Structure 1
Amino acid sequence: MGVSLGAGVALAHFGGERDGGDTASAPVAGAPAAPEPATAAPTPSREATPSPKPTVKPKPKPKPKPKPRPTATKKKPATVPQSGPGTFTTASASASGKVTGTSGPLRRYRVQIEDGVALSARETAEEIEAILAHPRGWAAHGRGRFQLVRSDADFVIRIATPDTADALCARQGLDTHGELNCETTDGVVVNLKRWMLGSPTFAGPPEEYRHLIINHEVGHEIGIRQHMDCGGPGKLAPAMMQQIKGLNGCRSNAFPYDEDGVYITGPIVS
């Protein structure tokens, strides 16, 4: 690096290192002293001054793509076999032997499920017990008491494939077309299709339609032999109406009584 020094001070020679393009050397002995040179302005170093690095803006992080909202998965309708072996499994009786209802004659019933279908006999029997114990059902309004048993029953509730249901109902002279339930001399035959899928005329889910199946058929068992029609436009359809055949202006309904405990009725049709 080129540096200007004071008078009489020799310039040191740094190993021939060049600075600003000039080489500095020591004075020769006996030579007249050279006049003091005028102080020269320092020669700017030719060393390149590093230019400032361009500011590199960090790349913006890509915004995370919004996660797709989960699409509601439509529940596939249950698969209902058209036919079965015609043999049945009987549900075990309630461990407590409990009776549903507090007044009226006691009616003991069995629950049987056709073999080979995707229904548990025990769980189905428990569901029927709950239906009969509903506060808008027969037992809650003194129309009878009900008890699930395994033997010595007053009537049986069978759930069967459409072909088997047709065969059982045909013995009573009834044509159920692979679609309907029926009452027989020993009890109730429930078409598995109706139990699993509900009815196209019913506004609620199959689980609610099962209340109508049991309430309608058990209504026959406790002595209500005739069917009813709609009591008027916009009214609740009676449980003893064959609602699967049409509502005739009524609203679909699964229970014999309304929320105020009033029996839902209509004109007798058969």
Structure 2
Amino acid sequence: MGRGRCRHPSSGGRTPRPRPPARTRLTRRGRLLVLLLCLAAGLGGTGLAIAAWDTGPGPTPRAAPDPAATGGPATPDSPGEVSSDPPSRARVPDSGSGTFAPARLNGSPVGSGTLRRYQVQVERGSGVEPDEAAAEIQRIVAHPRGWARNGRGRFQLVTGKADFVIRIATPKTADRLCAEAGLDTGGELNCETGKGVVVNLKRWLTGSPRFAGAPAAYRHLIINHELGHALGLGHLGCPGPGRPAPVMMQQIKGLDGCDSNAHPYGTNGTYLAGPAL
């Protein structure tokens, strides 16, 4: 017989011994698991705590967003009336080409009284699209709490001959245009020159740190304040703590206890006035 073949007992060979059943061998990890299961069964809630610890840390909790970082509410005296958007994250250019591109939109007259035609222009290189800016300004002028809707004037967006021009300019260009009218805007402020309105690009895109609202809400204040000057109105102060700040108040310089407000009129049609300055 060849090697490796078993012999039969009748041939005088030895009877093979039966092999004992194979033992189940536990690895170190398996023994640890069994131990933990036993502890869990014997200790109840304590065992569950151990099992939870063994699964590793969970996801890191995320803090709730700061309302100021997401644009905040609309103006406090008129929640929900003004569209809001998050503050712009784009860098505001300090200067541009110094030349302006006119919007190509024409609108219908809004309001009553003497018609004032206005044109919208945007400095080239500012990153603002003229037609979009003109459409937004037209909505601001036609707002139910704006000048046109309350008998102070009749306004129309045009592309041709205009009574005044609203220009959106980079800070340096805005300073130059305002300085021609003897006004010092310091790279931060808007102005009305007699020839039209100059809107500082920084204010248009980022709003004001003193205004409780998003840039879209603050743009209402910019246009309403400068149109108020075009209508012959001067600056006003705060009428009292907790009351809406007049639109003719220089709110960027401080509220003196008043609440931020972007409209000339209240929800009931009352003109929001204050002490003359």
Of 228, 240, 243 in structure 2, the residue corresponding to residue 219 of structure 1 is 228
Q: How big is each residue's C-alpha offset from its partner over 1:140-193, in whole Å with a ceiling of 9 and x where there is no partner?
A: 223223221111111110011111111111111112222211111221011112
Aligned equivalent of 1:35:
none
Describe the shift of the 1:177–1:14 C-alpha distance in structure 2 as closer, same or farther (beyond 3 A): same
| Equivalent pair of 2:212/2:260 in contact (CA under 8 Å) | yes
Give the AA of the match of 1:146: F
Structure 1 residue 17, shift from structure 2 partner: 3.2
Aligned equivalent of 2:96:
84
Describe the shift of the 1:261–1:64 C-alpha distance in structure 2 as closer, same or farther (beyond 3 A): farther
| Percent identity over paired residues | 55
Higher mean Cα deviation, 156-165 or 63-72? 63-72
Gaps of 5+ in 1: 1-11, 21-45
Pairs within 5 Å for 1:88-99: 88-94=100-106, 97-99=107-109
| Equivalent pair of 1:231/1:265 in contact (CA under 8 Å) | yes
1:204 maps onto 2:213 in alignment:
yes
SS at match of 2:229: helix
Aligned equivalent of 2:43:
none
Pairs within 5 Å for 1:144-183: 144-183=153-192
The structure with the greater share of residues assigned to helix is 2
| Equivalent pair of 1:107/1:144 in contact (CA under 8 Å) | yes
Describe the shift of the 1:68–1:182 C-alpha distance in structure 2 as closer, same or farther (beyond 3 A): same
Describe the shift of the 1:257–1:76 C-alpha distance in structure 2 as closer, same or farther (beyond 3 A): closer
- Higher Cα Rg, which structure: 1
Give the distance between the partners of 2:102 and 2:32, measured in 1 at CA.
Answer: 72
Describe the shift of the 1:54–1:226 C-alpha distance in structure 2 as closer, same or farther (beyond 3 A): same
SS at match of 1:14: helix
Give the distance between the partners of 2:252 and 2:22, measured in 1 at CA.
Answer: 89
Number of equivalences: 229
SS at match of 2:118: strand
| Equivalent pair of 1:182/1:189 in contact (CA under 8 Å) | yes
Structure 1 residue 58, shift from structure 2 partner: 9.3
Gaps of 5+ in 2: 1-7, 34-50, 70-86
1:18 maps onto 2:28 in alignment:
no
Q: TM-score of the superposition, structure 1-length normalised? A: 0.75
Aligned equivalent of 1:30:
none
